[in-house]
């Protein structure tokens, strides 16, 4: 799973010796350019490999608005062989506060960060051993989020 698609995502994955072919899930918190722009490099490289059956399918979790932006911009920059994978092998899942997502042994719970600027989602992952990881995107912590952070 990859968190966000920051501008240097592809380069950062290479530096960390993470094989892009292993990415199966991508979570995008909001539409700011520094959080979304890298998705097009990931889609270009990984989408090409998925089209050749050299990588597994990809699921992207984001708000409806972010998904719409990704699809609109993708049609400008990506080749048809990648675009034709959308909603087939590259799946877009709109997130909301209510739907928990099961990723194998992980439970992922997205929640609206109540940003004053625009819609932004964070999430909490609970692992098999009951430990958890919380991502707040780039929103500052608010006490009003406590009930969402400790909801499992």
Indicate the number of domains in the chain.
1
Domain that holds residue 115: 2-149
Q: What is the pLDDT of residues 28-38, one digit of tens each?
A: 988 888 778 88
In whole angstroms, give the CA distance from residue 27 to residue 128: 19
Mean pLDDT of 5-30: 77
Reduced to 3 states, what is the DSSP secondary structure of residue 135? strand
Q: What is the CATH number of the domain that holds 136?
A: 3.60.15.10
Mean pLDDT of 26-50: 88
Q: What is the pLDDT of residues 86-103, one digit of tens each?
A: 999 999 999 887 688 898
User: How far, CA to CA in Å, does 135 sit from each of 2, 57, 84, 110?
Assistant: 12, 24, 31, 9
């Amino acid at each position: 799973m990859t968190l966000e698609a920051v501008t240097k995502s592809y380069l950062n994955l290479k530096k960390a010796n993470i094989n892009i072919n292993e990415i199966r899930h991508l979570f995008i918190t909001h539409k700011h350019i520094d959080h979304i722009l890298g998705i097009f490099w990931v889609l270009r490289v990984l989408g090409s490999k998925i089209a050749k059956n050299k990588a597994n399918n990809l699921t992207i979790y984001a708000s409806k608005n972010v998904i719409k932006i990704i699809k609109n911009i993708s049609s400008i920059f990506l080749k048809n062989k990648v675009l034709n994978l959308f909603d087939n092998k590259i799946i877009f899942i709109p997130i909301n506060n209510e739907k928990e997502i099961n990723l194998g042994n992980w439970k992922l719970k997205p929640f609206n960060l109540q940003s004053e600027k625009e819609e932004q989602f964070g999430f909490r992952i609970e692992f098999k051993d009951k430990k958890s990881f919380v991502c707040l995107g780039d929103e500052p912590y608010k006490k009003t989020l406590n009930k969402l952070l400790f909801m499992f």
